[in-house]
Amino acid sequence: MDSTEEQQVERIKEFWKEHGKGIVAGAIIGFGLFYGWRYYDAQTQLAQETASAQYEQLATQVAESDDESAALAQIQAFVEQQDETIYTDLAAFQLAQRAVNNDDLATAVSALQQVRDNSGSEAFKALASLRQARVLMAQEQYDAALQALNSSNFPASYQALTAELKGDIYLAQGNDGEARSAYQQAVDAGQSASPVLQMKLDNLASAS
């Protein structure tokens, strides 16, 4: 080995002496993060598959049940006991719908609030807010209904629906001016006004 090669070997030895532990530690951390993420991803996938199977089982049991109270209790238990997934959202929507059908509006409001608070889907949150506002309006809780709408982030595709619902709430409150303004916003936000929406606006115009 000539002197040049010996110098290169010595430099390599010095480099490893100075940086070797850090490189090894970095490699260990890198591998740990990689395999840790792989493990997390696998566990997440397993949790989704488990929740899917449990939701399918729940849907079958509820569909076959003749006891509506028991069915509601089953769905509510699923929503409360499961970790948050798309399936808890779907179960909460189902619970809210069945509760409305049974005139249990308080349970419907609570189920929809569960989606608003915990869902990982912005679309589901928006839908839950819209439905919750409708239920609150049916309870004549008009301020709470408006708050449900005003405190939510709606995509552009919901603007017309949201404005029209606000108009309905204002109209129920007897606030014709705000109702007219909201209906006009709904018309402006939509590509074309539905006949029902246009009728609401026309009725307010003729009454003024």
Q: What is the mean pLDDT of residues 8-18?
A: 55
Is position 193 within any domain?
Answer: no
Give the long-range contacts of residues 91-98, CB within 8 A, separation 24 or more.
91/55, 91/58, 92/128, 93/124, 93/127, 93/128, 93/131, 94/59, 94/62, 96/131, 96/135, 98/68, 98/71, 98/72
Dump pLDDT digits (tens) for 112-157: 999 999 999 999 999 999 999 999 999 999 999 999 999 998 998 8
Tokens representing residue 76 in the block: 């509510």
Give a yes or no: residue 104 inside a domain. yes
What is the amino acid identity at position 110? S
Range of the domain at 14: 3-154
In a domain, 63, yes or no: yes
Percentage with pLDDT > 70 across the chain:
74
Give the Cα-Cα-Cα angle 188, 194, 195 (nearest 5 degrees).
125
In a domain, 91, yes or no: yes
| Residue 103 belongs to some domain of the structure | yes
pLDDT band at 24 (very low <50, low <70, confident <90, very high): very low
**Structure confidence by residue, pLDDT tens digits, 51-91:** 777 778 877 887 777 888 888 898 889 888 888 888 899 99
- CATH number for the domain harbouring residue 93: 1.25.40
Q: Does some domain include residue 169? A: no
Does 64 map to a domain? Answer: yes
Please give the full DSSP string across 23-52, using - where no structure is assigned: HHHHHHHHHHHHHHHHHHHHHHHHHHHHHH
Residues 172-185 have pLDDT tens digits of: 999 999 999 999 99
Q: Ranked by mean pLDDT, which of 42-51, 145-154, 197-206 comes out on top?
A: 145-154
Q: How confident is the model at residue 23 (pLDDT cuts 50, 70, 90)?
A: very low
Determine, yes or no, domain membership for 178: no
Number of domains, the chain: 1
State the first-to-last Cα distance of the chain, in angstroms, to the nearest integer: 103
